[in-house]
Homo-oligomer: A and B are copies of this chain.
Amino acid sequence: MRIQDVAQAAGVSVATVSRALNEPGKVAAETRTRVEQAASRLGYTPNASARTLRTQRSKVIGVVLPTLLNPVFAECFEGIASTAAAAGYAVQPFTTEYQIGRESRAVNSLLAGNADGVILVVSNPARSSALQRLVEARLPYVLAYNRHAKHPCVSVHNEAAVAELIAHLGTLGHQRIAMVSGQLQASDRARQRHRGYRQGMQRAGLQEMPLIEVPFVETAVQELASLLRRQSAAERPTALVSSNDLLAIRCIRAAHLAGLRVPQELSVTGFDGIALGEDLTPMLSTIVQPNAEIGQRSVELLVRSMAADAPLSAASSITLAHRFRAGESCAAARRTPSV
């Protein structure tokens, strides 16, 4: 089913069909109707590749993100996909599983002319060679969740968010507050959030505790549980500040396995605000980021830049508001431990 068939059926030229379908205003009403009817009767759908080849615009936005198994990114992706669809763009996702090599491969595919623009979540904007290639190719892009002075980013203020959270925990009487995180190396968010922890602890006049870095999610629960079991009540943290919600959920499980009640004996907080957290018992106490909106705003930025044919600069970066959801996994410290 080609444009030619429609032209023949409607008794016009291919150019007229193309115009009738793409710029209806430029065609006589009667002709247009004839074309439209012929097209719909034949079930004609314009060939995307031919159109892309001709116009040099694919109407596709590439998306590079760590994984869709983490609801944070799934939520963001839905925001991207629906906003993109509304603007007439399809979306093509690539997951990196936090591996640098896969970032590059994804960008390669996207550079094959498949995408008009790219939204990406990378491990380290400062060092991503994939990002570098994107810049060199002058393909419009926006970073989501990442935060970097030289790139257009849509994110929240991670440091501030965690620092505020620490202050809040302080007012709840917590003094032994430990941070739990995935590999710092794999994520600039994790590093920023950890900086927020240090900052918050310092400001609250509390002594920093060693970072609990959990390398693999698969073994996280066991590791955390045995750590909690090993520690005496006096040395154990009274609050665990987790770098993300999925990890916070595992902290809660670990506490349970170690015989600690949450939040009575151990407070646990998350970061991300995944929807599921609200349906858990205890409801997750967490810093909520507007995940769908991060996706939406990224697309808006990208679409605007593609329309204006002007590259985005770091000046376009957007910092969205975060908020703390009290939840139920976090409570006042039971007694003031000696320092």
Contact = CB atoms under 8 A, between A and B. Distances in A.
Interface in A172-197: none
Interface stretch (A104-112, A123-131, A155-163): A104-112
Contact of A280 (B74, B275, B280): B280
A91 B250 CA distance: 31
Contacts of A74: 68-69, 71, 74
Contacts of A249: 276, 279-280
A31 interface: no
A33 B325 CA distance: 59
Chain A interface: which size bin?
A: 35 or more
Question: At the interface, is chain A mostly helix, strand, loop or mixed?
Answer: helix
B90 A92 contact: yes
A10 interface: no
A186 B49 CA distance: 34
B95 A93 contact: no
A78 B71 contact: no
A145 interface: no
Contact of A68 (B46, B47, B78, B276): B78
A111 B280 CA distance: 41
Contacts of A81: 93-95
Contacts of A276: 246, 249, 276
Contact of A49 (B71, B113, B252, B280): B113
A69 B58 contact: no
Contacts of A95: 78, 81
Interface in A46-68: 46-50, 52-53, 58, 67-68
Contact of A281 (B90, B109, B256): B256
Contact of A77 (B68, B114, B256): B68
B113 A48 contact: yes
Nearest to A60: B92
A338 interface: no
A276 B217 CA distance: 11
Contacts of A221: 279
Closest 7 CB pairs between A and B? A49-B52, A47-B113, A48-B112, A49-B49, A49-B53, A256-B281, A45-B112
19 contacts: A45-B112, A47-B112, A48-B114, A49-B53, A49-B113, A49-B114, A50-B53, A53-B53, A68-B77, A69-B78, A74-B74, A90-B109, A92-B92, A250-B279, A252-B281, A253-B280, A253-B283, A256-B281, A280-B280
Given A81-B95, A256-B281, 14 more contacts: A47-B53, A47-B113, A48-B49, A48-B112, A49-B49, A49-B113, A50-B53, A68-B74, A69-B71, A69-B74, A90-B114, A92-B92, A93-B93, A249-B280
